[in-house]
């Protein structure tokens, strides 16, 4: 390894942090809207499903941008003293989260395509179908979209729990790497 990269980055880049927190808000809203609209026949059903489709498309675009940024910018290393099983869990859960961020919108889009629904986002933008109309395919895609929503939410809960564990218990800088605000100065600072 060359001298130039020997100073290892401790935090994600500003763009990565922006994308992370923006998408965190979008995805949480998306999951709550999803289970909410599936459980009501009130007029808000139409508003919720319309937001769900538009927001899903936004998340897909953001996730692809984020994947590209991640491939280019990388990530700060995990602490050397993190136990191996926790490292493995961290790596695997991040693959799963990226897979779901990109996969869920595509499943939803494909599911609507298989059911021959027009796919309208932002009120008047028509997306083309990405799979042919098919009852078997619809069943498969709908089942996957529905079940994976709960997997996704479960993973997010684990992700939050792990982040807080790093922040509150281990205090190892992993949380600070993605925290929206920089940590208190890394040098000693004068108290008041």
Query: Which residues 24-43 are close enough to bind other proteins by CB under 8 A?
Result: 31-32, 35-43
Instruction: Quote the tokens at residue 139.
Output: 């069943």
Using rule CB under 8 A, residue 45 touches other proteins: yes
Site string for other proteins, 138-157 (x = CB under 8 A): xx--xx---------x---x
Terminal-to-terminal C-alpha distance of the chain = 42
Using rule CB under 8 A, residue 130 touches other proteins: no
Q: Minimum CB separation from other proteins for residue 168, in Å?
A: 4
89 backbone φψ class: left, alpha, beta (φ>0; ψ -120 to 50): alpha
Using rule CB under 8 A, residue 88 touches other proteins: no
Report how many residues bind other proteins under the rule CB under 8 A.
44
Using rule CB under 8 A, residue 181 touches other proteins: no
Using rule CB under 8 A, residue 117 touches other proteins: yes
Of 10, 73, 147, 186, the one binding other proteins (CB under 8 A) is 186
Of 15, 133, 151, 182, the one binding other proteins (CB under 8 A) is 133
Q: Minimum CB separation from other proteins for residue 37, in Å?
A: 8
Q: Minimum CB separation from other proteins for residue 4, in Å?
A: 26
185: three-class secondary structure by DSSP: coil
Distance CA 49, CA 185 (A): 44
Using rule CB under 8 A, residue 68 touches other proteins: no
Distance CA 44, CA 190 (A): 53
Distance CA 51, CA 116 (A): 19
Q: Minimum CB separation from other proteins for residue 71, in Å?
A: 30
Closest CA to 146 of 23, 28, 24, 38: 38
Instruction: Quote the tokens at residue 190.
Output: 């004068």
Task: Say if CB 56 and CB 105 are below 8 A apart.
Answer: yes
């Amino acid at each position: 390894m060359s001298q130039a990269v020997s100073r290892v980055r401790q935090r994600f880049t500003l763009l990565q942090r922006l994308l992370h927190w923006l998408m965190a808000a979008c995805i949480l809203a998306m999951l709550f809207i999803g289970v909410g609209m599936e459980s009501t026949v009130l007029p808000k059903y139409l508003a919720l499903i319309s937001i769900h489709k538009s927001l899903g498309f936004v998340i897909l675009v953001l996730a692809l941008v984020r994947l590209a940024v991640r491939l280019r910018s990388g990530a700060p290393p995990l602490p050397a003293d993190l136990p191996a099983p926790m490292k493995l869990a961290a790596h695997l859960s991040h693959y799963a989260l990226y897979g779901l961020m990109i996969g869920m919108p595509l499943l939803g889009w494909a599911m609507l395509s298989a059911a021959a629904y027009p796919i309208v986002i932002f009120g008047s933008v028509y997306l083309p179908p990405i799979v042919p109309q098919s009852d078997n395919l619809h069943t498969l895609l709908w089942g996957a979209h529905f079940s994976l929503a709960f997997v996704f939410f479960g993973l997010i809960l684990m992700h939050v729990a792990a982040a807080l564990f790093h922040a509150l218990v281990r205090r190892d800088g992993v949380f600070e790497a993605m925290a929206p605000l920089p940590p208190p100065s890394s040098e000693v600072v004068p108290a008041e």
